Amino acid sequence: MLATDEARNLAHAFLAGQHWFEDAPALVVMTARFDRLFWKYRRHPKAWRVLHLDVGHLSQTMYLSAADRGLGAFVTAAINDGDIEQALALQPLREGALAIVGFGPVSGERKNIELDRLEATPAARWAQDEQADLRR
């Protein structure tokens, strides 16, 4: 078991310095076994696509599960693969980290810019004005 400071430092390293995710009570590192994937799909170029579809499906399921429990969630692929692979003793070229999903209570305070509060760009405002003109 890790001490709180050790866990926070490891999260900081794993999450490539994205400090707004570090304090999540639960982090899930999504990894893949490339050798099994390419064996199953016989080295087909679409195997890579299947891998990313699986990560997408699993992360969406985790989002839905978190929402069902009233928790917030995030997924990021902006991760520090090297530190993760070393810490988890993943075998180079056979296994690798793909994404991290985190869960926890939703904070009542926003500390970072959120995408739902972005203002329209000049181009978006122009398009809105054009739509309004067409309706007149």
At 49, the pLDDT band (50, 70, 90 cuts) reads confident
Residues 26/103, Cβ–Cβ less than 8 Å: yes
pLDDT in tens, 53-89: 999 999 999 999 999 999 999 999 999 999 999 999 9
Domains and CATH numbers, the chain: 4-109 (3.40.109.10)
CA dihedral over 110, 112, 113, 116, signed as positive or negative: negative
Residues 6+ apart with CB under 8 A from 60: none
Q: What number is the average pLDDT over the span 25-32?
A: 94
Mapping DSSP to helix (H, G, I), strand (E, B) and coil, where does residue 53 land?
Answer: helix
CA dihedral over 15, 17, 19, 20, signed as positive or negative: negative
Ranking 6-20, 60-74, 89-103, 120-134 by mean pLDDT, the lowest is: 120-134
Q: Which residue has the tokens 């917030």?
A: 72
What is the model's pTM?
Answer: 0.76
Residues 19/12, Cβ–Cβ less than 8 Å: yes
